[in-house]
Amino acid sequence: MNSHVKLEHRRSVLVVRLYGELDHHAADAVRMDLDEAILRGQVEHVVLDLKELQFMDSSGLGVLLGRYKLVRGKGGKMVVSGVNPAVHRLMDMSGLLKIMPVYEDEDAALSDLEVAL
């Protein structure tokens, strides 16, 4: 299964919806898509919607951590929504959930960032 990324700009927030698998085969393409969107646009915050992400390995963790550092370096926040149990467990074991808030869904994440539309 391939990884798919859908990006949506909502004011100063980039909503990233990941589908399928984020593994070593997909990591470079996802990294490039996200970097371009974050650096090109007026992005202050990022919401990662992972409800359709079935699998992630350490390469995927690296992609998320790198984009977290990029967004934080610009003074923004990166949050996660809709994480399935397997991906949640991996993110928890890696320590990512200690630095990225997790929300039940995308709307809750956007509301907390005070940009609900």
Mean pLDDT, rounded, of the chain: 92
SS (H, E, C) the chain: CCCEEEEEEECCEEEEEEEEEECCCCHHHHHHHHHHHHHHCCCCEEEEEEEEEEEECHHHHHHHHHHHHHHHHCCCCEEEECCCHHHHHHHHHHCHHHCCCEECCHHHHHHHCCCCC
11 or 55: whose pLDDT is higher?
55
Question: For residue 3, what pLDDT band results from cuts at 50, 70 and 90?
Answer: low
Q: For residues 35 and 64, what is the distance between their CA atoms, to the nearest angstrom?
A: 11
* Residues 51-106 pLDDT 10s: 999 999 999 999 999 999 999 999 999 999 999 999 999 999 999 999 999 999 99
Question: For residue 40, what pLDDT band results from cuts at 50, 70 and 90?
Answer: confident
Which domains are delineated in the chain?
4-112 (3.30.750.24)
**pLDDT for res 114:** 75
**pLDDT for res 44:** 94
What are the φ and ψ backbone dihedral angles of 77, each rounded to 5 degrees?
-120, 150
**Number of C-beta neighbours around residue 38 at 10 A:** 20
